[in-house]
Amino acid sequence: MKYEKLAKDIIKNVGGKENVNSLTHCVTRLRFKLKDESKANTEVLKKMDGVVTVIKSGGQYQVVIGNHVPDVYADVVAVGGFATSSEDGPEEKMSPFNKFIDIISGVFTPTLGVLCATGMIKGFNALFVALHLISDTSGTYAILNGIGDCLFYFFPIFLGYTASQKFKGNHFIGMAIGASLVYPKIAALTAAKPLYTIFKGTIIESGVNLTFLGIPVILMDYSSTVIPIIIAAYVGAKIEKGFKKVIPDVVKTFLVPFCTLLVIVPLTFIVIGPIATWAGKLLGAATLGIYNLSPIIAGLFIGAFWQVFVIFGLHWGLVPIAINNMAVLKHDPVLATTFAASFAQTGVVLAILLKTKNTKLRSIAIPAVISGIFGVTEPAIYGITLPKKKPFVLSCIGAAIGGGILGAAGSNLYIMGGMGIFGIPSYIGPNGMDRGFFGAIIGMVVAFIVGFILMMVTKFEYDEEATETTNSNNRVVEVKAEILVSPIKGEVKPLAIVKDEAFASGALGKGIAIEPSEGKVVAPVDGVLTTMFPTGHALGITSESGAEILIHIGMDTVELNGKHFVVKAKQGDTVKKGQVLVEFDIQAIKAAGFAVTTPVIVTNSDNYADIVETDKKTINFNEELLTVLA
């Protein structure tokens, strides 16, 4: 933890964790509610490196940190073992797609290092066999393959832990759910002869491998799957919370996990399994229908959505079709169209690697490219492209074009061979290197190039990020002189009149205050909305020239929990000067007992020679407010 020592010192000097009733944070400060404020060493905290000042206001003991308060907050929570269920204000409203991405990112981020490592080992092991350095029957191969496969095969167990962490459930219950999905004796039953078949004659005809209390259970191979365990962890966390409310404290330690597992594991096998199985079968039938209609259209469709199918575990619907084709036709044209997908993904990540200055992102991208060449794209998908959305879409476009080429060339898969570049021999048929083989090579290369070029010409909002040694938002930017226009219409006042020591003293940066006459905040510069607090009361913008601007609407307005504020842009957006970012109800905020005086400050003032304020008494939107001198 980067701020572990600071976190320990803060906890110690607020009177210890036993003196803390609750802890939240806003855009610049930690907000403690203490049992006894007299136990806090205020003067010690004020003099502490890393603490700007201490303010007592509204029943809260506020330790002002600055723009990096989220990182300090995270370490204080970790060191003190404080609850985090509702600390950050109301949950930010997201579209279903963005919510899905947020969940996927939160679940996969803790696994990225090991994910990249095992992917590289798996790829190099395949390379060693291809170069005849080792045999695939040797003990060396077996051990290396075990290391490379361990995470992927047992992915549900790892994700059970991280998903439960994301959904605020018991981590070990999540792991137990994941372990049950890949339990060898249950997994082995998927290959056994079904007890009987249900829904005979329909597209969802399914063999029942076992029953639970007389209820039919349709099994699937859950190894390496993602969505089933995430759904199970989410539902399991809700079930666990329900049992916690009704089970006495004296027996909660074992009865809550006992009851939760007895409900969620059978539910996962009985409900989630069949849904995944039937969805896969429907997908397989639809895809085969499209291929029979037009191989090119099928290639475009399968190529574009293959990575999405894999994420949801729906790709299993195509595998039986491929296996059947291999048995009957001695080749498969359907699964063949997926060959280009991993190369499109790798091309996108290579472009990101060349564009970004973010050392952390580069450390993930390098092994992701290496493993992607060998066909292992999980590190690339879950660590880089999917969380950032746009790169993932671009990879799907590249994969679609590559798949279309394979479909047009009539490429066939003749063996279930290796992945990535080691999959090339799988396209050599009885007639040798024919049209289909060269179509596969062309599709692979084109997908890689398209993905690479699309990413290179697409603006990548994270391409200037670097280490925290540059500025508070971890961005490398060359500071330049520029003019900041007013984000608010109203009466101009000196910063010193603000009834908050941290702002009034200039400790958080130089700037000015405005008494709003209209409830609207617009962007004072062209730049990136680097911070948008969920409650809408505070936001931060980094200009294209490097100025970091903090706009804080009123004092202690975080306590309104977003009431009377309407957010018009989201964190991470590229914004233009004059663009409306937040609307707020001045009279309602005042009626609630809060001032609306709004500081507008440059938080990285130390990087500049001076910050010159306007001499106007009143100001309108987009009029010159502050001049930043380099």
Angle of helix 112-130 relative to helix 359-373, nearest 10 degrees, comes to 30
Report how far residue 214's alpha carbon sits from residue 240's, in angstroms, rounded to the nearest whole number: 25
User: Are both 28 and 50 inside the same structural domain?
Assistant: yes
The pLDDT value recorded for residue 320 is: 59
143 in any annotated domain? no
Q: Are 61 and 54 in contact (CB under 8 A)?
A: yes
Residue 579, burial from CB neighbour count under 10 angstroms (0-12, 13-18, 19+): middle
**Max intra-chain CA distance, the chain:** 86
Across the range 606-620, mean pLDDT stands at 85
pLDDT over 90 (residue 589):
yes
**The predicted structure's pLDDT at residue 104:** 67
Tokens of 64: 């002002």
446 & 357 share domain: yes
Most confident of 113-122, 378-387, 446-455: 446-455
Q: Which of 397, 423, 457 is the last residue of a domain?
A: 457
Is residue 198 in a domain? yes
Note whether 265 and 300 are same-domain residues.
Answer: no
Question: Can you tell me the distance from the alpha carbon of 182 to that of 221, in angstroms, rounded to the nearest whole number?
Answer: 8
Does residue 299 sit in the same domain as residue 437? yes
β-bridge partners, 591: none
Backbone φ/ψ region at 622: left (φ over 0), alpha (ψ -120 to 50), beta: left
User: Which of 97-106, 201-210, 499-508, 588-597: highest mean pLDDT?
Assistant: 588-597
Q: Let me know: does 49 contact 72? Beta carbons within 8 Å.
A: no
Contact by Cβ (8 Å): 601, 495: yes
d(CA 344, CA 399) in angstroms, rounded, equals: 5
* pLDDT interval class at 313 (50, 70, 90): low
Number of neighbours of residue 131 by Cβ within 10 angstroms: 8
**Domain limit, last residue, from 228, 259, 293:** 293
Residues 269 and 327 in one domain: no
Domain boundary among the residues 80, 96, 113 is at 80
Report pLDDT digits (tens) over 127-152: 788 788 999 899 999 999 899 888 87
- By three-state DSSP, how is residue 357 classified? coil
The CA distance from 180 to 284, in Å, is 27
Q: Which residues pair with residue 413 across a beta bridge?
A: 332
CA gap 393, 387 in Å, rounded: 11
Q: Are residues 179 and 285 in the same domain?
A: yes
* Residue appearing with tokens 């706009």: 551
Local confidence band at 507 (pLDDT 50, 70, 90 cut-offs): confident
Both 511 and 435 in one domain: the answer is no
Q: Mean pLDDT score of the chain, rounded to an integer?
A: 84
Distance CA 93, CA 535 (A): 10
Q: Tens digit of pLDDT for each residue in 192-250?
A: 888 888 888 887 788 888 899 989 888 887 887 777 888 899 999 999 999 999 998 88
Distance from the Cα of residue 513 to its chain's centroid: 36
- 298-310: average pLDDT: 88
Residue 393 forms part of a structural domain: yes
Q: In the chain, pLDDT over 70 holds for what percent of residues?
A: 87
- Taking alpha carbons only, the member of 455, 342, 326, 359 closest to residue 402 is 342
Please give the angle made by the CA atoms of 260, 264 and 267, to the nearest 5 degrees: 150
Alpha carbon distance 316, 280 (integer Å): 6
Q: Identify the three-state secondary structure at position 385.
A: helix
Residue 55: CATH number of its domain: 3.30.1360.60
What backbone phi and psi angles, to 5 degrees, belong to 34? -100, 150
Residues 452 and 306 in one domain: yes
- At 157, the pLDDT band (50, 70, 90 cuts) reads very high
The per-residue pLDDT for range 66-93, each reduced to its tens digit, is 767 888 888 898 888 886 543 344 444 5
Show the domain range for 614.
Answer: 482-629
| SS3 category, 122 | helix
pLDDT band with cut points at 50, 70 and 90 for residue 459: confident
CA gap 229, 233 in Å, rounded: 6
Average pLDDT over residues 508-527: 93
Q: Which two tokens stand for residue 323?
A: 């296996």
Q: What is the mean pLDDT of residues 348-364?
A: 84
pLDDT at 105: 63
- 412 and 317 housed in the same domain: yes
User: pLDDT-derived band of residue 429, with 50, 70 and 90 as boundaries?
Assistant: confident
Q: Token pair of 200, please?
A: 């005979």
Can you give 60-107 as a three-state secondary structure string?
EEEEECCCCHHHHHHHHHHHHCCCCCCCCCCCCCCCHHHHHHHHHHHH
pLDDT tier, 522 (very low <50, low <70, confident <90, very high otherwise): very high
Residue whose C-alpha is closest to residue 182's, from 151, 211, 213, 144: 151
The sign one gets for the Cα dihedral 162, 164, 166, 169 is negative
Q: Classify residue 610 by burial, with Cβ atoms within 10 Å: 0-12, 13-18, 19+.
A: exposed
538-543 and 527-532 as β-strands: parallel, antiparallel, unpaired? antiparallel
Residue 475 has pLDDT above 50, yes or no: no
Task: Tell me the catalytic residues.
Answer: 26
Q: Cβ distance 398 to 454 under 8 Å? A: yes
- The H or E element that residue 237 is part of is helix 227-246
Examine the pLDDT at 476 and tell me if it is beyond 70. no
CA dihedral angle for residue 179, residue 185, residue 186, residue 188, rounded to 10 degrees: 120
User: Are residue 376 and residue 448 in the same domain, yes or no?
Assistant: yes
What share of the chain in percent tops pLDDT 90?
Answer: 37
pLDDT value, residue 119: 67
Task: Give CA–CA dist 578/489, Å, rounded.
Answer: 12
pLDDT of amino acid 101: 61
Q: How far apart are CA 1 and CA 117, in angstroms?
A: 22
Nearest 5 degrees, angle CA 576-CA 579-CA 583? 150
Which amino acid is present at 84?
Answer: T
More confident of the two residues 360 and 187: 187
CB-based burial label for 463 (10 Å; 0-12, 13-18, 19+): middle
Question: Both 550 and 441 in a single domain?
Answer: no
Token output for 576: 């233009």
- Looking at residue 89, its pLDDT comes to 40
Residue 345 resides in a domain = yes
Angle among Cα 3, 8, 13 to the nearest 5 degrees reads 125
- In a domain? residue 615: yes
Q: Is residue 40 very low, low, confident or very high in pLDDT (cuts 50, 70, 90)?
A: very high
Domain assignment present for 530 = yes
CA separation for the pair 181, 178 (Å, rounded): 5
Which is it for strands 598-602 and 215-217: parallel, antiparallel or unpaired? unpaired
* Residue 131 lies inside a defined structural domain of this protein: no
Domain count, the chain: 4
The tokens for 593 are 């007992």
> For position 579, which CATH number holds?
2.70.70.10
The values of phi and psi at residue 426, to 5°, are -65, -15
Whether 12 is in a domain gets the answer yes
Determine contact, residues 479/605, Cβ cutoff 8 Å.
no
SS (H, E, C) 463-514: CCECCCCCCCCCECCCCCCEEEECCCCEEEECHHHCCCHHHHCCCCCEEEEE
DSSP 528-545: EEEEE-TTSSEEEEEETT
Q: Answer whether residue 468 shows pLDDT above 60.
A: no
DSSP state of 58: T
Instruction: Specify whether 27 is located in the same domain as 39.
Output: yes
Contacts of 188 (CB under 8 A, 6+ apart): none
Please write the tens of the pLDDT for every residue from 529-565. Answer: 988 988 999 999 999 888 899 999 998 898 898 999 9
Cβ atoms of 577 and 524 closer than 8 Å: yes
Q: Which residue from 268, 252, 393, 400 is spatially nearest to 337, judged by alpha carbons?
A: 400
Report pLDDT for 172: 93
Task: Say if residue 409's pLDDT is above 70.
Answer: yes
Tell how far CA 17 is from the center of its chain. Answer: 31
